[in-house]
């Protein structure tokens, strides 16, 4: 018997109706199950929006039942995708910073002393230690611009005006010997300076400790 015109949809089974629905929501479920780990997370974001839209506009009772369930699953997927994106971005930024710091230009203590003593103001000693440490002892002619405002067992507070304060004292063509106590903090400071356009900034290897040791070694009497 010929099907009644206009009544086919009403006689479809639940399986047939589900098969006729767009597959976006099912693809999203695949992403949740990790079946498409190679896909760009931004693609998951688009599928999430499409799937939620389909779920909310379902017209049949069965589809309405899925609408109560699917937005939760899709939202969960979206939260996981967002978390993954933020985590990946943070990891990439951290790795990029470490690589940048490891490539920071440096100068050893003997070379730094020679450059600073050459006269003419061609090189300047930028001490990035805390003011309290700088006031105790520092290289002759050094200028103090702290990279951190505080260093405690709970953490370190970076000086938000570090670049601004350096810029108030030196032009970007200035040759800078950047130093802290042992050469760790100065590498971070130098990396920031180089990124800001101070292409002639160099981190002092071993910091002020190495600087003093180099000076002391030069003062030792020559062996007889």
Dist CA 123 CA 99 (whole Å): 26
Kindly state whether residues 127 and 204 are assigned to the same domain.
yes
Which position among 48, 180, 194, 201 bears the catalytic label?
Answer: 180
Against a cut of 0.85, is the pTM above it?
no
Query: What's the CA gap between 24 and 43, in Å, rounded?
Result: 11
Q: Secondary structure of 178-209 in the HEC alphabet?
A: EECCCCCHHHHHHHHHHHCCCCCEEEECCHHH
Query: Mind listing the pLDDT tens digit for each residue in 6-34?
Result: 444 445 544 554 454 444 333 333 333 34
Judge whether residue 181 has pLDDT over 80. yes
Q: Evaluate whether residue 1 is within a structural domain.
A: no
* pLDDT at residue number 26: 34
Q: For residue 132, give the CATH number of its domain.
A: 3.40.250.10
At 153 the three-state DSSP class reads: coil
Task: Give the range of the structural domain holding residue 202, as residue numbers without chain letter.
Answer: 106-219
Model confidence over 191-219: pLDDT tens digits? 999 999 999 999 999 999 999 999 999 88
Q: What angle do CA 77, 79, 85 make, to 5 degrees?
A: 100
d(CA 103, CA 57): 55
Residues 92 and 110 in one domain: no
Summarised one tens digit per residue, pLDDT across range 112-154 is 999 999 876 789 999 999 999 999 999 999 999 999 999 999 9
Say whether 48 is catalytic.
no
């Amino acid at each position: 018997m010929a099907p009644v015109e206009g009544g086919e949809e009403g006689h479809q089974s639940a399986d047939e109706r589900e098969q006729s629905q767009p597959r976006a929501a099912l693809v999203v479920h695949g992403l949740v199950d990790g079946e498409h780990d190679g896909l760009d997370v931004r693609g998951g974001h688009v599928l999430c929006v499409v799937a939620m839209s389909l779920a909310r506009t379902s017209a049949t009772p069965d589809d309405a039942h899925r609408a109560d369930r699917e937005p939760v699953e899709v939202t969960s997927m979206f939260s996981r995708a967002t978390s993954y994106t933020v985590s990946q971005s943070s990891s990439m930024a951290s790795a990029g910073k470490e690589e940048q710091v490891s490539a920071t230009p440096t100068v050893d203590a003997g070379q730094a002393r020679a450059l600073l003593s050459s006269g003419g103001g061609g090189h300047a000693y930028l001490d990035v230690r805390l003011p309290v440490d700088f006031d105790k002892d520092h290289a002759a002619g050094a200028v103090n611009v702290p990279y951190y405002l505080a260093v405690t067992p709970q953490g370190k507070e970076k000086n938000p005006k570090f670049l601004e304060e350096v810029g108030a004292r030196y032009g970007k063509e200035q040759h800078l010997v950047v130093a802290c106590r042992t050469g760790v903090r100065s590498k971070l400071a130098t990396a920031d300076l180089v990124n800001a356009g101070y292409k002639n900034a160099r981190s002092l290897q071993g910091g002020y400790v190495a600087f003093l040791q180099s000076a002391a070694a030069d003062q030792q009497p020559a062996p007889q």
